[in-house]
Amino acid sequence: MNKTEILDNVIETASKWLEGNYDQATKDAVKELLDQEDKTALIDSFYKDLEFGTGGLRGKMGPGTNRMNIYTVGAATQGLANYLNKSFPNKEQISVCIGYDCRNNSKLFSDTVANIFSANGIKAYIFEDLRPTPEMSFAIRHLGCQSGVIITASHNPKEYNGYKAYWEDGSQLVPPHDKNVIDEVKAVKVEDIKFEGNPDLIEVLGAKMDKLYLDTVKTLSLSPEAIQNQKDLKIVFTPLHGTTVKLVPDSLANYGFENVIHIPEQDVVDGNFPTVWSANPEEPEALKMAVDKADEIDADLVMACDPDGDRLGISVKNDKGEWEIINGNQTALIFTYYLIKRRRELGLLTGNDYVVKTIVTTELFKDVAEKNNVECFDAYTGFKWIADVMRKNPEKNYVGGGEESFGYMPGDFTRDKDAVSSCSIMAEIAAWAKDQDKNLFDILKEIYLEYGFSKEKMIYIVREGLQGSQEIAQMMHDYRFNTPKEINGSPVVLVKDYTTRKATNPITGEATDLDFETTADVLQIYLEDGSKISVRPSGTEPKIKYYFEVREELPSIEDFYATEEKANKKIEGIIDSLNLN
């Protein structure tokens, strides 16, 4: 389809919004887009339907089929409601739990969702105010709901919002439910959406659910004595204007920590995120105010959460006295190492224990587990796949699961990454380390010395709009069908393509099956020198992501910085070799 045909289709689609069952403010906004001489915004708003994918909806807010608004949210909810009524025909009362974050329009969208569910005869539990995503997952399980929805765009820019759908175990939708819901959503027309709610089927959740959740988080504690000894540990915490503003400090207090320092400007709940360029704890800039405060007061630990409270970023002092962000792979390593070590010391390992990591997460995670006789499962990116492993292994003992993108789930009472639990356990690890005259950086180096050194880096390329999505698709095609024979001077010895679920040796041509039931648009390239390169399009953002992992020998603790520098140069060499600079 050429540009003229695309524009003609867009104008036809947008014009229908001027006459359909849409409110007047929406019609006025659409007319303004149609009247603009530059049609870029119009095309981006209407060139496709905002896809209800396997992760739900996510997009910029505004009028249009490709935007987050009450109509796209309404269609998603009506489709999900239709599917729930078909899936549980004999259920006396189907119920769902609804949560929302700090973003602009999140309250509007969550109220819209509650009204539509109730209008379809489904009981809707809705939180009285913004709450972290993991608490919503917990509430689904505790209340015995059949589904749930969280209104959030996680750490996306302020222009975005999103809609994540969950199933009765508290995890996001996986096959067959994800595809079935997508089919139901696609069949919904605007006139099918039941916007008029039934107040009798809407129940508000508040402090009682908070207490149940926080008391359950407390059960994860493995070193209460260390916390008692280090209860004055100086912890600087920031919610980055989001949902953890109350629950993380409350949880830390519940654990026994008495010295949590806030950043007042970032305790302000605000979907415009006025103090940060990006409310993403993966970005060093997001932690700057907290690190500056920590430097001023000589704190022990900095922790930050993303707006919906599922990701955790931490910063600690290194050997040089400089504050250093611990990346997501390192955070997952520290969690896994600690949970296994302390459970072993306390006699809590059963011999049938397991952890889960995503395929783009460091392989060192697996080394730590398996060298301690703990099974390690690989899963696709996204905690719904970690939850899927848990669902399939009910007889095994879950220890923890994590991914490189600053997410970890230390307990089995939620089925999504949980920054409230993670903050609580990470503070406990810091107290446990300090009880041994160490800090988290010391613990990390000890892990590397015992299990091997690994260095990781993730970069991404943004490609917006229709043209951008086409460019990303072409890049993935080129990597698949024109895979380099060597990268940075090291031969390619294995290629894993998760669209075909095949692992191929490019030298011999030998192929084996990957142990995954579903496909994913991910390609992994392994080099002779032990490096791993993973490439995938983001499922929620207009990005193509590259994950690099290199391995090096670490002869001693004293060689840490020299080894790290060597690894960094190797990663830069790979990036140069792939022309990604």
HEC-encoded secondary structure of 95-130: EEEEEECCCCCHHHHHHHHHHHHHHCCCEEEEECCC
DSSP string, 120-168: TT-EEEEESS---HHHHHHHHHHHT-SEEEEE--TTS-TTEEEEEEEET
> What pLDDT, on a 0 to 100 scale, did the predictor assign at position 464?
83
Q: Is residue 507 part of a domain?
A: yes
**Residue 338, both tokens:** 């600690």
The total of other beta-carbon atoms located within 10 Å of residue 54's CB is 21
Indicate the residue among 375, 409, 442 that finishes a domain: 442
Same domain, 493 and 567: yes
Give residue 541's pLDDT: 74
pTM: 0.94
User: Is 227 in the same domain as 137?
Assistant: no
Q: Look at residue 1 in the predicted model and tell me its pLDDT.
A: 65
* Distance between CA atoms of residues 308 and 217, nearest Å: 17
Q: Which helix (H) or strand (E) segment is 468 a member of?
A: helix 465-481
SS3 for 490?
A: strand
Cβ contact 386:103 at 8 Å: no
Active site residues: 154
Give the contacts of 333 (CB within 8 A, at least 6 positions apart).
362, 364, 365, 368, 444, 447
| 484 & 410 share domain | no
Whether 322 maps to a domain, the answer reads yes
Placement of tokens 């009028």 in the chain: 63
List CB contacts of 279: < 8 A, sequence separation 6 or more: 155, 158, 240, 241, 242, 273, 286, 306, 307
280: nearest Cα among 243, 307, 315? 307
Percent of the chain exceeding pLDDT 90 equals: 92
The residue among 191, 195, 167 whose CA lies nearest residue 179 is 167
Q: Are 148 and 110 in contact (CB under 8 A)?
A: no
- Give the CA-trace dihedral at 298, 301, 302, 305, to 10 degrees: -160
Residue ranges with strand state E in 214-343: 235-238, 260-262, 301-305, 312-317, 323-326
Query: What CATH number has the domain bearing residue 405?
Result: 3.40.120.10
pLDDT of residue 468: 85
Q: Is residue 55 part of a domain?
A: no
Q: Are residues 462 and 345 in the same domain?
A: no
CA nearest neighbour of 96 among 168, 179, 188: 168
Does one domain contain both 498 and 406? Answer: no
CA distance 379 to 383: 9
For residue 541, what are the contacts with CB-CB under 8 A and spacing of at least 6? 58, 156, 462
Q: Report yes or no: 93 and 143 within 8 Å, Cβ to Cβ.
A: no
Q: Which stretches of the chain score pLDDT less than 70?
A: 1, 54, 540
Cα-to-chain-centroid distance, residue 384: 10
Beta strand pairing call for 95-100 and 123-127: parallel
**What's the CATH number where 553 sits?**
3.30.310
Residue 278 in contact with residue 249, Cβ under 8 Å?
A: no
Which residue range forms the structural domain that includes residue 312?
A: 213-442
- Chain centroid to CA 250: 23
Judgement on whether residues 194 and 309 belong to the same structural domain of the protein: no
Q: Is residue 565 in a domain?
A: yes
Identify whether residues 195 and 224 lie together within a single domain. Answer: no
Q: Is residue 36 part of a domain?
A: no
The reply to whether 59 falls in a domain is no
Instruction: Give pLDDT, residue 5.
Output: 86
Q: Which of 205, 234, 265 lies at the terminal end of a domain, its last residue?
A: 205
Q: Are residues 193 and 222 in the same domain?
A: no
Answer yes or no: are the C-beta atoms of 213 and 205 closer than 8 Å. Answer: no
**Same domain, residue pair 312 and 458:** no
β-pair partners for 496:
503, 524
Number of domains in the chain: 3
* Residue (of 124, 116, 129, 119) closest to 97 by Cα position: 124
In 10 A of CB 29, how many CB atoms? 19
Same domain assignment for residues 427 and 524: no
In a domain, 19, yes or no: no
Type of residue found at 375: E
Q: Of the residues 391, 415, 442, which one is the last residue of a structural domain?
A: 442
End-to-end CA distance of the chain: 32
Rounded distance between C-alpha atoms, residue 222 and residue 569, angstroms: 38
Inter-residue contact 260 to 253 (CB < 8 Å): yes
Backbone angles phi, psi at 580, to 5 degrees: -105, 5
* In a shared domain, residues 423 and 320: yes
Q: Is residue 54 part of a domain?
A: no
SS3 content of the chain, % helix, strand, coil (to 5): 40, 20, 35
Task: Give yes or no: residues 426 and 326 share one domain.
Answer: yes
503 - beta bridge partners? 496, 512
